[in-house]
Amino acid sequence: FYKSEEGKDDKEQCDIISSLSTQIGSVIIRKKAENAVRDSEHKYRILLENLPQKIYLKDATSTYIFCNQNYAKDLKINADDIKGKTDYDFFPKELAEKYSADDKRIMETGKVEELEETYLSNGEETLVRTVKVPVRNGNGNIRGVLGIFWDITNLKRAENERAEMETQLRQMQKMEAVSQLTSGIAHDFNNMLTAIMGNVYILQTKTSKESSLMPYIEEIHSTSERAALLTKRLLTFSRKQIVDIKHLSLNEVIQNIEKLLLRVIGEDINLSVNLSDKEITVMADRGQMEQIFLNLAANARDAMPDGGIISICADTTYLDDNFIKAHSYGIPGKYALITFTDTGTGMDDTTRDKIFEPFFTTKEVGKGTGLGLSIVYGIVKQHNGYINVYSEPGEGTTFKIYLPVPESVVKEDGHWEIMEPVGGSETILLTEDEADVRVLTKAVLEDFGYRVIEAVDGDEAIDKFLKNKDKIELLILDVIMPKRNGKETYNEVMKFKPDIKAIFTSGYNEDVIHKKGVLEKGINFISKPFVPTELLRKIREVLDREVN
């Protein structure tokens, strides 16, 4: 220490020096503390600025105190400029009120909340996940809210797409289950109907037209035909039916389905049908044509919960070059035009663009498969036709379906040119495991002059063929039989007689028959239920055909 005189301390000066050294030490400690705080703040700033999330801090009045640069970038400001501002400075009133209400609730409850909410980024609406945490002071009192959020728009879109795919998968599994069920039902029904329709045919041929029994016989025949169409509809629903394309009267199809449509649409919807005076002929599958009207009617019914009007019109039109240029599709020619209109709720452009997509539906969960109109679209395309839809919200909907009209299919008097069945004297090996169908078919064939050898399964058929191979000229084989199926039986017989002719029959659906190889090109097939005249014509056609 400094001494004013040797050997003596200057107490006053020592006190000054001591006080000064204490202050200098205090300054040094404070500076070190400030440097530590700055270092800590710098580290936290680096951490906050490098996090991908957006972060902000608000006080008890929901006024911003701080935000990171990631959030400031969205708001198009510098991070330091956010202090003193509120959500009302950056967002629409509705959003700002929502954010403020969330802040208030969290500060009142003192609970951390995780929210999914709407957020505007660069003018676009996105979805974000936000975690809001109540901020407390040293005394434990809540003084503000800390918010951390990040964009989950793509994540939610992926989740929604995955959920939609899972829904579609479940729907496809349901449809596959329905397909299996309808396949079995159709097979059993078709065998029974083949027997019923065959016996009715025999009654018709054996009974005088003037008989008092004839109206009852005709009613049984008509009912059995409607039952046959029912099995076709079941298979159409599951998309497993065998398409049976033939000349159809469009007016007749609509007239026959009209009663069923009335049951589908209910009593509070009026049905108006306006058919052309001229006969309209198309090449089509009857069951699929009826399915078009049923699906459109069901769709219109759902669009008119308070009732309304459905109008069906049938006419012919000609698609010329102007039509093709305007619609960017079509082949010039004469077409049947089906116009199906309802007075329902209508559709906007977005819905209208998607209505033919499989599984697309605007109905509530569990109230629609999303397949009705896609099936209509598929049927129309399968028949080389076109379908348009016209609709506006609140203005109803109109579907226009164009189906090609074949040339020279009807006589001038408008009646169908139907070839009467012709018999023969050839020997036929009939293999059918259903006794009712086998007995009936044998009786009809023998009535038309054929000699018939019966077999109940594939093994018996082969055994009887080997004993009568020089006599037998035609095989009639059920596709699905015990021991050997029809195709296996046919292949075995061909080893002994390569030029043997065959006709396959089945009441099963297309999938099952395809697996057995029966729908291959060049194979003669007739689906159950069939009437005897249909089988007789097919037999004569195959027997009279030259062997390649």
Residue 27's pLDDT is what? 66
Predicted model pTM: 0.46
Q: What's the burial of 332, exposed, middle or buried (CB within 10 Å: 0-12/13-18/19+)?
A: exposed
SS3 214: helix
Return the closest-CA partner of residue 127 out of 103, 93, 97, 160.
Answer: 160
Return the closest-CA partner of residue 285 out of 252, 245, 250.
Answer: 245
Which pairs from 132-140 meet CB under 8 Å and 24+ separation? 132/102, 132/103, 132/106, 133/106, 134/106, 134/107, 134/109, 134/110, 135/57
Q: What's the burial of 24, exposed, middle or buried (CB within 10 Å: 0-12/13-18/19+)?
A: exposed
Residue 319's pLDDT is what? 87
Beta-carbon neighbour count of residue 192 at 10 Å? 18
- Between CA 287 and CA 88 the distance in angstroms is 63
Answer whether 456's CB lies under 8 Å from 433's CB.
Answer: yes
Helix (H) or strand (E) holding 135: strand 124-136
- Residues whose CB is less than 8 angstroms from the CB of residue 432 and which lie 6 or more positions away in sequence, other chains included: 438, 441, 454, 455, 456, 476, 478, 481, 505
Answer whether 466's CB lies under 8 Å from 429's CB.
Answer: no
Residue 527's pLDDT is what? 78
Residue 279, amino acid: E
- Between CA 469 and CA 184 the distance in angstroms is 34
Three-point CA angle 324, 330, 332, nearest 5°: 80
The CATH number assigned to the domain with range 51-151 reads 3.30.450.20
User: What stretches in the chain show pLDDT beneath 70?
Assistant: 1-21, 23, 25-27, 31-49, 168, 171-172, 174-176, 178-180, 182-184, 229-230, 232-244, 358-371, 407-421, 508-522, 546-548
For 518-536, the three-class secondary structure string (H helix, E strand, C coil) is CCCCCCCEEECCCCHHHHH
Token pair, residue 406, equals 């074949």
Return the closest-CA partner of residue 401 out of 341, 350, 357, 320.
Answer: 341
Residue 198's pLDDT is what? 84
- Residues whose CB is less than 8 angstroms from the CB of residue 96 and which lie 6 or more positions away in sequence, other chains included: 86, 87, 88, 90
Q: Which residues of 81-119 are buried (b: 16+ CB within 10 A; e: fewer)?
A: ebeeebbeebbeeebbebbbebbeebbeeeeeeeeeeeb
Residue 399's pLDDT is what? 93
Token pair, residue 4, equals 């004013």
SS3 175: helix
Using left for φ > 0, alpha for ψ between -120 and 50, and beta otherwise, residue 84 falls in: left
Q: What does the chain come to in residues?
A: 548
> Each residue of 336-355: pLDDT tens digit?
999 999 998 888 888 877 77
Return the closest-CA partner of residue 486 out of 511, 451, 460, 521.
Answer: 460
DSSP-derived secondary structure for 394-443: TS-EEEEEEEEPPSS-S-TTS----PPP-----EEEEE-S-HHHHHHHHH
DSSP-derived secondary structure for 6-47: TTB--HHHHHHHHHHHHHHHHHHHHHHHHHHHHHHHHHHHHH
Answer whether 289's CB lies under 8 Å from 252's CB.
Answer: no
For 63, 262, 316, 432, 499, the CA distances from 457, given in Å and listed in that order, are 88, 45, 50, 7, 22
Positions of E strands within 268-415? 269-275, 281-284, 308-319, 333-342, 386-391, 397-404
Which pairs from 76-81 meet CB under 8 Å and 24+ separation? none
SS3 244: coil
**In the chain, what are the domain boundaries?**
1-50, 51-151, 244-417, 427-544
> Each residue of 421-480: pLDDT tens digit?
678 899 999 999 888 888 989 988 998 999 999 999 999 999 999 999 899 999 999 888
DSSP-derived letter for residue 364 is P
Answer whether 127's CB lies under 8 Å from 133's CB.
Answer: no
> Token pair 């270092």 is at which residue?
39
Beta-carbon neighbour count of residue 175 at 10 Å? 16
Token pair, residue 133, equals 């945490």
- Would you identify the CATH topology of the domain 427-544? Rossmann fold (3.40.50)
- Residues whose CB is less than 8 angstroms from the CB of residue 284 and which lie 6 or more positions away in sequence, other chains included: 245, 246, 248, 383, 403
CATH for 244-417, options being 1.20.950.20, 3.40.50.300, 3.40.50.720, 3.30.565.10:
3.30.565.10
Residues facing 173 on adjacent strands:
none
